[in-house]
Structure 1
Amino acid sequence: MGLSVDPSTDRSQLVDTAVARYADGLREAGNPLVLRPELWVSCEKQARQILGECVGTLLGMPVQVAAEAELVSMALGVQRSDDHVPPIDSVHAARLLFDVAVGTMTETAARLPADLVLSRFLTAVRMLHEAIFTRVSAAAIGYESATLRDVGQASTARRHRIARDLHDHVGSSISLALRCLDLYALEQANGVTAPRDRLADARQALRDVFGFTRSMVSGLRVNELHDGLKEEIDAYSAAASDRPAEVRCRIDGDESWLPEEARQELFLVIREALRNAFTHARADHIDILVSVFPDAVHATVADDGAGLPSHLDGGGTGLTAMRQRVAALGGTLELISEPGQGTRIGLRVPLGGDGAERGGR
């Protein structure tokens, strides 16, 4: 069954309806972005742009994220800092807009011809991710720039930490979500019955993005790991791998000796190593060993993939972030890789005197 009206007219009607739902949701939550008329003007404009982009994509119209989106959003972040709008309100608004947009697209997709539904919906979800993330990231930069201007100082270490966090938390989670969507489309096209619910994995990865962003902008650090290291590593491996790659993970020692911050940072480093092995190295076998002692933790991630060209041994964004995370804990990281010979990453992080007091070696 095809669409009953012209796509451009239908898009306008769908956007109007979605914006009304969005405003109602913000009012119900008591969000100042709709309760203060001067704030709602810019908020509504951004919502209309984002909804127009993703709905237009779903309807098969040629669409791209507005060229001025980053500059406008950065300026908007500065303005919201000047207006003393808590960043958490902007994050809540982005989360609500995401939910409204997905609901609108789901309803609309049901009216598309069956042979177009999957490809159009996946493309529209990609557009939604890009549209929201582009603007939220730019607004966060603008907000922080205004804050640093007001306090009269800029911390290089803080900026590095934010860059690492955006890459390892936000970037990796969005990459995982898109990877799961790609795998879902591939499995559907090939008629494969997958052992995992790829859409559920994608939704969880996106929830992680919003959860981390909320904790970052509110100044609260939420524990990222709900299970043990092995369980978290195994779950990521199962969700991110598109091939029958064998991942063997072993944790030796007492994980309770690890301070929570060290445990979280260790997981992020291992996750980045796994992402590289899956995405770039195309490894068939990956071995992970974590040895926890009272006074230190050692870890290795070794794969039999394509290896790294010599000019990349210094590290791209991901490898740099891994080195910085380990260095921030007072540890060291070593990378050994040659083209065609696989990659081995080894790290050692001291745990200080607390662990030694709990037990000896």
Structure 2
Amino acid sequence: MTSQTTVAEQVFDTLRALLTEQGSELIAHPEVAEQLAIQVRAVFDDVTAEITGGVPPGRAPLDVGTDRARRGIHPAESLRASTALFDVMLPALTDLLAADGHDPLRISRVLHKAIMTRVAQASLSYVNFLMEKLQASREEERLRISRELHDRVLHEMGLAVHRLDLYRFYADRDPAQARAKVDAGIECVDEAARSVRLLSAELRRSARTEGLERMLRNYLAVNAPPSVQVDVSTSGDLSLLPPDAPEELYLIVREAARNALRHASPTRLEIRIDVSQAEAHAVVSDDGCGFDPGDPEIAHGGLPSMHERAQLLRGSLRLTSSPGAGTRVEVRLPFARVTL
């Protein structure tokens, strides 16, 4: 038993050195490296137990896929580590077990099955986690549309109904006031119709087809008041963005701009997007009233959705603010480089 434990530890040490040389994210995080060590030992025990007819020790299940999804670690890292594990563990198991007459080919097959079973389990939980996050993001978008309909359309329609009620009140008493109320009601209906058209046009647009910068400029042209100086700039080749990135990045940046316009009362709003060969970097900053990021209230609204959208693209979002000092939202989206 001691020799098997020693061999398993040597396998992990060799694997860790190999992954470190490759720059694997599985080694960069201490908690993830510890999970990997547990997995290596579990694979080793499962294979030796099946080959020798023993019983592997029971272990609490690890939800590796969900944990790696939360940390933004791409499944390609797991696949690359699995290939390396097979290459490292097979010679060690063969040396250990073939001496007792066990078939090296069977050892190879059992090892492959043990590794791929865990890869499949982790991949399933990884995908399930991201699907849940995607569903949450879609739910947040539906809630945003609902708020827009309530705050802009329903408000104007309510005003129109109220003024038409006043028209009925003034119709016989004061014809001039009655006409004024009808005119005001018509203006409210026109404004409500305008809001519906704008919202409908926004829903039809796509950052993929219309372009990220154009979408942002269109949004700000409609929603930024004249009192706010808006500056939008991009640099680099935006076509380098992966297919799923423009829409999500647009939604993140739009939400940051929307929060600034609705809550910060800024005089200046600046949006900068830089795209390099390695990543997309976006910054939304304003000179508004700012807030305390430690306030529990910021856990509500669009901020969690912004973080989740960034994580879905293996990126990160950093928010900096303080009362009276404005707000800065910074997003980094690294471009995945899949190598096995």
Q: Which structure would you say has the larger RCO, counting Cα contacts within 8 Å and 6 or more residues apart?
A: 2
> Which of these two proteins has the greater Rg computed from alpha carbons?
2
When normalised by structure 1's length, the TM-score is: 0.45
